[in-house]
Structure 1
Amino acid sequence: MANETDTGSRLRRKISQARLALGVERLWSVLLWPALILGTAAVAVLSGALPFLPPWLRALLLAAGAAALLWSLVPLGRQLRAGWASRQEAMRRVEERSGLAHRPVSAQDDKLPDGVNDSTQKLLWEEHRLRQLRRLDNLKAGLPVSTWRDSDPHALRLLVILGLAVALLLGPGSIRERLAASLATGTAAASPQLALDAWLKPPAYTGKTPLLLTSPAIAERLKQEPEIHVPENSVLSLRISGAEAPKLTFRAPVEGTATAPEVEGFKPQVKTENGLFQADVKLTRPAVVEVTDGTRLLGSWRLSLIPDAAPGVEIIDTPKGDSSGRLIAKWKVTDDYGVTGVTSDIYLADEQDDGVGFTDTGIFEFDPPKLAIQLRRAAPQDETGESRADVAQHPWAGFMVEMTLTARDAAGNTTESAKRTFRLPERAFTRPLARALIEQRRRLILNPEEAGGVAEMLDAIVTYPKGLIERSGTQIAIAAALSRLRSAGSQADVDTVISELWQIAVNIEDGVSADAKADLEAARKALEKALREGAPPERIAELTKKLRQALDRYMESMMKEAQKRLAEGNQKQDGQQQPGKVVTPQDLQKMLDMIDKLSKSGNNEAAEKLLSQLEDILRNLKPGMPQQGQGQGQDSPLGQMLDKLSDLMRKQQKLMDETQRMPQPGMGEEGQQDGQQPGSDGQQGMGSLGDRQQGLGQMLDELMKQFGQNGMQAPQPFGQAGKNMDRAEGSLRDGDREEALREQGEAMSRLREGARGMAEQLMQQSRGQQDSQGRDGQARGDDRDPLGRPLPSRGEEYGPEKGMLPSEQAMERARQILDMLRARAGDLGLPKYERDYIDRLLRGLY
């Protein structure tokens, strides 16, 4: 009985499976044409072809596709209304799939007719059913079978499947973008075009312009020279739009066609936003840069780096000093892109006057002095300068030291100069008490343990002041220093005494002018700082006034000190001193007047130089310098040649002005007289100007010969100026005014450059004549100022060359001309050639 129950359950399950299989087959058969229509539409959408069709045709195709789809769904509706397969149909399917004859499955639903009550018939019927069930051990419902092959004899379904696969794999953009573009009702938008921009940005300190690698000019250049040279630390910037998988690769620059290996060390900063790929990378080594989009090569460049050379720095000659204790060092710096700063380092030398090293270690307790070095221009590539520092008060003054300079550039490269060994300048003291205090101060510097001996000496001076100490204030100051020294308990206390002894000695040496000198130095430094920083004219005028007042007080105190020393008979302490020139307050006030005028005219650099000269005079000024004969000196050969050059430049400028006023060829009949042939007088005028230009060229040749006759070398710009004059002469004779003006302008520029060189030679020549100065700062020679420079034999100007600074009238006239040129330069109604001429004049002035 149990077996019959299992067989019945298996039969019912197989009948259900058969009904399901029949339903799937019937449904699948009616889905053929809807699937073909939907597949064709999907191919059209995913291939990206629809956006390129006109909107009306696209709408028509979409409507036709929708209608066809609806038509193809009619059989599906009928099938759904018909419902699932019947039980009888399922049982027949099971019999067919199982290979059963005589309908053993269908017979399970058969019944005896109503009204049959015979027990024998019922037994026979039950036996019949049991035999049928025993035949149903291996029933099969079968899997659904597709009838598409019969409904689609031409295999259109395979074409749709293939097209769908190709559209999915090769279609442009994402599926969502393609679907949106296909259903858009407006004009089809063009697909994004791939665009690549690549450029190289050299470091800002190099001053070089960026290089666009994707420009046509670079493309042509790469055909001739495949390698691009760029400064080290340049930045490669990329911008790519419309790319699917952009990539930046760096390869080793090897020869040959083989693929070079990738190199490491580059760290690009990549940013991708809204389909835009951006990358920036600093170039630290040579490489071949490749930009790809998938397997497609977008660009390739072979980059070679120009190394950033380390700066050069040297100390020109051995640093020197003057009797006031000021250190003067000349230096020179060079760099391929510009030096950003220079620092100095000073060390005690091993070799001293009394042998190697120091017997005491006290001097090593003090920090080394510093020489501040300021560059006149920002990041100069080549500059020669001179730096000064007051080191008289420093404990190392008078000892042998070594100095080095360190230059650095914007890339961080540094270079140290060769060492220079010299004696650190010290101030010379002439008064006995001042010298004695400086001697005791030196003992404390070298060996603080000798504080007891120094205290005994100071005690002796305070106890017996007669003949040594002139003022009670000096005695009180020495007594205070003595008391502090006796109670000193640390090196800091001893350092305080060392500083006090210096101040006392300076006050004794300077006498009544010490305070006035300190005020004068403070006022001078304030004005120098204002000029260097470009302070407003009102501020400079205020500081100049304060300096003038401080100078008056200082000169008055100097006169009192001179009278005092003269009364004491101590005017000349050293019989071997050679007299210097007298510098009067009027002379110094005239220098201040000129500084004031230069600052008002905006020439702060010249005012600062003149202020530096004033500092030189004041530092070496001594009270009561004896007056010498006021004979008129003769100009030096270099000064005479400078005068001739000034006259030559004046004549060249005048000739240039006359050339500008000549009528330009082709200007029509304007300016011509009636009946005059066009250009006849103009050609004659040009010819006469050519003769004058020839004469100026001969003057320049004679001037250059005088250099050789005086054993000097003519400045190099003069040779180029002569060539410009020759070409200007030829242009004038040919009637080419514009070319003549250009060559004359170049000649003026070369003459100005040569004049600056001559002025520097004259300054060096005059400074070279003061190396025999005494320790008291007096310059030698009857025709020298306190700095040993030739005094002017005419006029009232100070400086290394007579007439170097213009007069007040000349400066006022220059300001008026400058204002007039600026006003006319802004007049748009002027002809172009006249505006160009004014522009050349203004460029020459600046």
Structure 2
Amino acid sequence: MAPTRDPSTDIFRTLRWPLALTRLGMVAERLARAFWPLWSIVIFALALLMLGVQDEVAVEWVWAAGAVLGAGALWAVWYGARRFRWPSRAAAVLRLDATLRGNPIQASLDTQAIGGGDAASTAVWRAHQTRMRARLAEARAVEPDLRVSRNDPLALRYVALLTLSVAILFGSLVRVQSVTGMGAGGPDLAQGPAWEGWMQPPAYTRLPSVYLNDITAASIEAPEGAEITLRMYGEVGALSIRENVSGRDLTPEAAQETAQDFAVLKSGELAVDGPGGRLWQIAMIPDAAPSVARDGEIEVSYEGEAQIPYTATDDHGVVTGTARFVLDLEAVDRRYGRSIAPEQRKMIEVPLAMPVSGNRADFSNALVGNFSLHPWANLPVKLTLEVEDGRGQKGLSEPEALTLPGRRFFDPVAAALIEQRQSLLWNRENAEMIVQIFKAILNEPEDLFRKDVEQLRLRTLTTRLELLAKYGALTDEKQDALAQAMWDLALSMEEGDLQDALERLQRARERLEEAMKNGASDQEIAELMQELREATDDYMRQLSRQQAQDNPEGQQMDPQNMIQMSQDDIQRMMDKIQELMEQGRMAEAQEAMRQLQEMLDNMQMTQGPGGGGQSPGEQAMEGLADTLREQQELSDESFRDLNDGQRGQGDRQPGQGQPGPQDRQPGQGQGGRDPGQGEGGDLAGDLAERQRALRDELNRQRQALPGQGTEAGERAAEALERADGAMDGAERALRDGDLAEAIDRQSSAMEALREGMRNLGEALAEQQQQRTGEQGFAQGGDPAQQRDPLGRNSGNTGRVGTDEGLLQGQDVYRRAEELLGELRKRSGELDRPEEERNYLDRLLERF
């Protein structure tokens, strides 16, 4: 009887290749998970060699790194050997069987456990096994799972792979062989020692690096501070360095070090001694220290902005600079408020603006700054300029005695305020003397102050200063606050209130005449002349609106009573006045100004067809101007009521005393009267009602404010919102009888109204410009008379823009210089945002 054939033989013959490949994949899985530290260390070491790290460090570091990596590799081998287990055939069968439907391998190898004597049961079992064996044809090798994240939770293998990726991009396999020369019997040892060297000049010299191996000449010129790098390969001691250019004490042991780095500080000799060595004579090029000097006249604008020119030189270029101002106490006029010793103050240090583009080896520039607020403004100082080059060497200018530039005030009271402000900042012990001077000014203020509010501000300031001086409470903070209040009041009086164009025009003319009488500089006169031009333009625009309102039909008025004058005629007269002043013919210039004023007083602006109506913007501006004027009148009345109350207290009989704030009963106003009783109470209530009516009118105007949607329009709305809040505070103060507080709030409301009108004017101008650009020639008319958005004539052909210059004459160069000076000043202000300073630097590079 023939032996029974084992069915498993046919089964495993069918699964021979899928089972073998599955088992091989399991071997790869276990190798990867057991030996991932080994191949990570090998990859990391290969990457370092490809990058040539061994050529950049001393040989001792290479040996140390090799020892560490070798030890790590041995540990990785031991770690992998402990964890690796060869997969068995049974494990491979189980994995392959798990990927098939119904586990056909296990079913084919099973035997019938029960029912073997039952023919029907046996038939079913054989049919089942036949079906399972048919499925074995579907068997495919199982793909191995090579992920080792569970074994490497810190992902250290990716560090090695990243280093290898960098090495493939930036390194080379050729560099790996250089490490063989560091061991005994390497190729470099067989060929003999070798060396490499470089000379790197300082970066500020902008000179290229020099490869010393290519230098065959016996002499080298090296700039001072150049870095020399030498690397020696082969047996240690076969090569040595000999040099006397760095000033270091080179011992025999140090001369044989394989890595040498030193700077050239003097001329001398450099040699590589040994096989293949070389000798050079190094001639050091000295790096000269920079120099700086003042050069040119100092120009001071009307606002006090100074331009102090200077020149600086250096063989390789200046890097930074600083200007220092020190008070020249010996040259100060020590009379009056400066008779006592001044308080100690730090010197003024201002960074010098460096050219953004171009060569800094030899340049001229100007220090631009405004020192008007400093306690030393218009006092003798000594100026010293300092510059520094890239090597850190510094150059100083000779101390120059000059007057610290600052703004000059031509209004008599404003000039007195500034003088006393300087006395207060000189030494706070001058406070009592300053109070006496202010009281003298306030004795008969009618002829000195244009506005009652200015008189009240000075009176309040005097009272505050007197109390602080009396009780010794004049701290640094309060001293600075009082000085700032004096400056603000003087500036307000100097600039004037300018609530309408006529007052502004008269004020500009008065300031110009006062400046000419006091011998102002050409720069100040030029800026005052420009202010007069702007004031004249505003006056003409308001006359035009007024005529349009009074004469809506556009009828011509009696030419014998009015002088018709065009804009060009006025500009020609202004040019003539400026020309006379530049020529020093001040008497003729004053006469021409008088004639111009007479003409302006009798001037009629001619209106074109359809020019009699008012736009919504003009109506809004006129309404705000009326509100501002009424607010000013209300503030003046409040001030007069306060003065009446103070005079009522001053008329008391001697011995009665005068109540201070602590003696005033609750509900009493500043004037010492109960606002709820008698005439005083009725007056305060009337003022409060008028203030409320003004606030209601302002709110009505805010509802229909033009210019919405523009940046200037939003600023105008915010300013008018502040004016509304100030009016509300003034109304409450009036009802409480606190007239001084009410006047302060009314002043804030007027300032906010003026700011809102300025912003609204800008918004209307932007809208007008946009409409002009959009309409183009759609408006009709003579194309030759139309202008493009830049104000140029479009020409007879109707094309946009011509070759006509936007500015003509010498003003072009003066204005360009002013703009460049402002750009240099702002680019040197370190407190500005970096984005803004970068933008200014780019502008300076273009010009």
What TM-score results when the alignment is normalised by the length of structure 1? 0.39
Query: What's the TM-score once normalised by structure 2's chain length?
Result: 0.38
Q: Which has the larger radius of gyration?
A: 1
